């Protein structure tokens, strides 16, 4: 049953990521690195909120639901490998400063959003 949670959640997360990629491309015409950054930041905030709410015992979920959300949806939605490829693409296109800013910015903001989300979750 847990595999079903992963597969179903992964399908939802992957579809949501693709929708955000398309929306970003329509809005700013170039998805690299903005679509990946948005996905990673949203995922960081959501996982922080959920973890904080669970830790504060304001939210409880069965192992199946937790697997569906954390491993499935958020695993399918967030895009660490795409984040790395975007950075490599920026390097190869002669934009090493942008690549460095992309790496440092997403890591710093992702950690901050995860912590912030966790504390929001604790106080829900």
pTM of the model: 0.82
Number of domains in the chain: 1
Q: What is the pLDDT of residue 124?
A: 87
Residue 110: the pLDDT is 95
The rounded radius of gyration (Å) of the Cα atoms in the chain is 16
- Give pLDDT, residue 52: 95
Tell me what the mean pLDDT of segment 100-124 comes to.
Answer: 95
pLDDT in tens, 42-65: 999 999 999 999 999 999 999 999
Q: Which of 45, 69, 43 is nearest to 120 (CA)?
A: 45
- What is the token pair recorded at 29? 């015409």
Tens-place pLDDT, residues 73-103: 999 999 887 888 899 989 999 999 999 999 9
**Residue 8 lies in domain:** 2-123
């Amino acid at each position: 049953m847990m595999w079903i949670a992963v597969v179903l959640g992964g399908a939802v997360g992957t579809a949501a990521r693709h929708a955000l990629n398309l929306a970003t491309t329509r809005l700013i015409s170039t998805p690299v690195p903005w679509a990946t950054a948005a996905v990673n930041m949203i995922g960081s905030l959501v996982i922080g909120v959920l973890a904080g709410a669970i830790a504060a015992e304001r939210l409880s979920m069965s192992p199946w639901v937790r697997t569906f959300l954390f491993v499935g949806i958020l695993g399918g939605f967030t895009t660490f490998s795409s984040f790395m490829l975007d950075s490599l693409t920026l390097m190869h296109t002669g934009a090493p400063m942008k690549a460095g800013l992309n790496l440092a910015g997403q890591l710093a903001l992702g950690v901050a959003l995860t912590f912030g989300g966790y504390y929001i979750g604790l106080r829900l």
